[in-house]
Chain A
Amino acid sequence: MSGFARLVFLGRLEDLAGTAGLAVAPGPLDQVLAGLDRELAVALLDDRIRLALNGDLLTESGGITLVDGDELAFLPPVSGG
């Protein structure tokens, strides 16, 4: 398989990941997360974290498969004013 997908970490997830974004091999999300640092993967799976694929908010996070060029963003709860 060629190419890569990109994971984007917002808010405190960026601090936890130590980077704003990460290039990963495309594939099922479960498989992508299994390749990450365990503590980060657990934080990304928290049910308060919302996901956006290529800028569109996902209502259902199950069964995602990333393909070449996809950008998957992990969005923690937004801050109040």
Chain B
Amino acid sequence: MLDVRLSDRAFDPAREIAGFVSRVPDAGGVVTFLGQVRADHGVLALEIRHYAPMTLPGFQALGDTAVARWQLDGMLIVHRVGEMAPGDPIVLVAGASRHRRDAFAATDFVMDHLKGESWLWKRERTAEGWRWIEPRGQDHADRARWG
């Protein structure tokens, strides 16, 4: 079971996790990762923009890769687009498997690839106005871990 979604409004991580867990009754372990807007000094808002013909298909392909690579009962990817405030959920990734290692690895893998390869553009607003966020070298190093 693979459930991949983009959401243009706030989502409730606890509710998403509960819904996911109810769909993987045979799993022995569920790993979840929740990313939220960092409360960096001076940041008032974060906006994520996407390109519909490419962004969700890219997430779907990443989910397919994870499902093919590990023994999973289920995989969930929910990603926000639009404007958010510090502390708001941005991304929720969950993996469910018979044994915990597959769920840990698949979730970590999906996050490393979401961070650097997604068709998403971010900008943040401070008192000085909006500023586009440039690519980060660390993201490439994170992806290189997976060979």
- Which of B53, B121, B138 sits near A11, CB closer than 8 Å? B121
- Which of B53, B123, B135 sits near A78, CB closer than 8 Å? B135
Provide the main secondary structure of the chain B interface.
mixed
User: Is A79 an interface residue when CB atoms closer than 8 A count as contact?
Assistant: yes
Total contacts A to B, CB within 8 angstroms? 61
Measured between alpha carbons, how far is A17 from B93 in the docked complex, in Å?
34
Q: B53 near A77 (CB under 8 angstroms)?
A: no
8 A Cβ contacts from B111-143 to A: 114-123, 132-136, 138-139
Measured between alpha carbons, how far is A63 from B54 in the docked complex, in Å?
22
Measured between alpha carbons, how far is A10 from B144 in the docked complex, in Å?
26
Closest to B57 in A: A55
Q: B139 near A80 (CB under 8 angstroms)?
A: yes
User: Is B35 an interface residue when CB atoms closer than 8 A count as contact?
Assistant: yes
User: Is A32 an interface residue when CB atoms closer than 8 A count as contact?
Assistant: no
Q: A79 near B133 (CB under 8 angstroms)?
A: yes
Q: A81 near B121 (CB under 8 angstroms)?
A: no
User: Is B51 an interface residue when CB atoms closer than 8 A count as contact?
Assistant: yes
| Residues in A neighbouring B98, C-beta threshold 8 A | none
Q: B53 near A52 (CB under 8 angstroms)?
A: yes
User: Is B49 an interface residue when CB atoms closer than 8 A count as contact?
Assistant: yes
User: Is A57 an interface residue when CB atoms closer than 8 A count as contact?
Assistant: yes
| Residues in A neighbouring B35, C-beta threshold 8 A | 81
Q: A54 near B49 (CB under 8 angstroms)?
A: no
Measured between alpha carbons, how far is A11 from B123 in the docked complex, in Å?
8
Q: A75 near B116 (CB under 8 angstroms)?
A: no
List 7 tightest A-B contacts by C-beta distance, closest first: A80-B136, A55-B53, A11-B121, A81-B115, A79-B122, A79-B133, A80-B139
The 26 listed contacts between A and B (C-beta, < 8 Å) are: A10-B49, A10-B51, A10-B121, A11-B49, A11-B121, A12-B132, A14-B49, A15-B132, A52-B51, A52-B53, A55-B53, A71-B53, A73-B51, A73-B53, A73-B54, A75-B54, A77-B135, A78-B116, A78-B119, A78-B121, A79-B120, A79-B134, A80-B134, A80-B136, A81-B115, A81-B116
Residues of A that sit less than 8 Å from B by CB:
8, 10-12, 14-15, 52, 54-55, 57, 71, 73, 75-81
